[in-house]
Amino acid sequence: LQSIPSSRVTVIAEKFAFDTTSAGAAGIWGPYKLSETPEADVHRWSSETFNHLASLFYGPEADASGVSHVACHWISTQPEAPPFWSDIVFNFSAIEPRHLAMLPRKYVSGYVHSNFVCEGRYYLQWLTRGIKARGGVLHQARLSSLSDLFTQQQQLLPGVNSVKPFDAIVNCSGLGAADLMKDKQVYPIRGQVMRVRAPWVTQCYMAGEHYIIPNRGYVVLGGTGQVGDWSTLSSLADTEHIWRGCCEIMPSLQAA
């Protein structure tokens, strides 16, 4: 819509904004839970996303789009080489030994860099407003397959040319591709988080499966990485696991 103002765009989704998992995500930038995705693809996509977030933060839309700037610390229980994406971020460096000494003794290495948080609860609303302002249409519906765009054309795409209803389909179904496209290679990696009020925590810490990520008004604690788990329900055992791990990294969270 920005690059081709004369285009007509319809976004069809089963759920929008606060009904999506993105709305609850902490939103820190960083390659994470990559599975078998080729490294070259991850690097290219990650670079494009980082640059997009940087342009939002340093532009006039930072507040509206939910983008914030944070220092991000990645700490490890064993020596690690710099990650393949270290050239993407700003101010990448090893964490100083005296800084590591402030953390639990099991953490022996780490690195820190400038990073961005993009909170989905704000970003999705910002995108929605932008689509509508440029004449785009949002339609809530569940598709069983892409053929529904033809068999249910009048309901899904009212007012369009029935002979050639569209020029392109952009499939952004993510995990939903398992059902929409019958793609058996798509599987979930379940993540659970908890939100606490801890305004003194202003920087991000990533430590294996646990992380501490400041958001606006809350700090997000995580997490889990349960491969193949489709559950969207909270687990008390996971909550306790997250709480113990994050409080070990930063004991002051016990006052949250």
Encoding tokens for residue 86? 């270290």
- Closest to 15 in 3D by CA, of 173, 131, 178: 173
Place 52 in a pLDDT band, splitting at 50, 70 and 90.
very high
Full-model pTM = 0.91
Alpha-carbon distance of 212 to 185, in angstroms, equals 31
φ and ψ of 153, to 5 deg: -60, -45
Max alpha carbon distance in the chain (Å)? 68
- State how far the alpha carbon of 43 is from the alpha carbons of 89, 127, 139, 214, 256, in Å: 11, 24, 33, 25, 36
Alpha-carbon distance of 138 to 210, in angstroms, equals 36
Alpha-carbon distance of 206 to 31, in angstroms, equals 12
Q: Is-contact 116 70, C-beta < 8 A?
A: yes
Q: Is-contact 219 256, C-beta < 8 A?
A: yes
Mark residue 161 as left, alpha or beta (left: phi above 0; alpha: psi -120 to 50; beta: remaining): beta
Please compute the mean of the pLDDT values over residues 44-48 and round it to a whole number.
97
Looking at the predicted structure, is the pLDDT value of residue 157 above 90? no
What burial class does residue 116 get, using C-beta atoms within 10 Å of its C-beta: 0-12 exposed, 13-18 middle, 19+ buried? buried
3-class DSSP state for residue 207?
strand
Q: Is-contact 26 20, C-beta < 8 A?
A: no
Alpha-carbon distance of 87 to 225, in angstroms, equals 26
Give percent of the chain with pLDDT exceeding 70.
100
Alpha-carbon distance of 147 to 76, in angstroms, equals 48
Place 3 in a pLDDT band, splitting at 50, 70 and 90.
confident
> How much is the CA Rg of the chain, to the nearest whole Å?
21
Which tens digit of pLDDT belongs to each residue from 179-214? 999 999 999 999 999 999 999 999 999 999 999 999
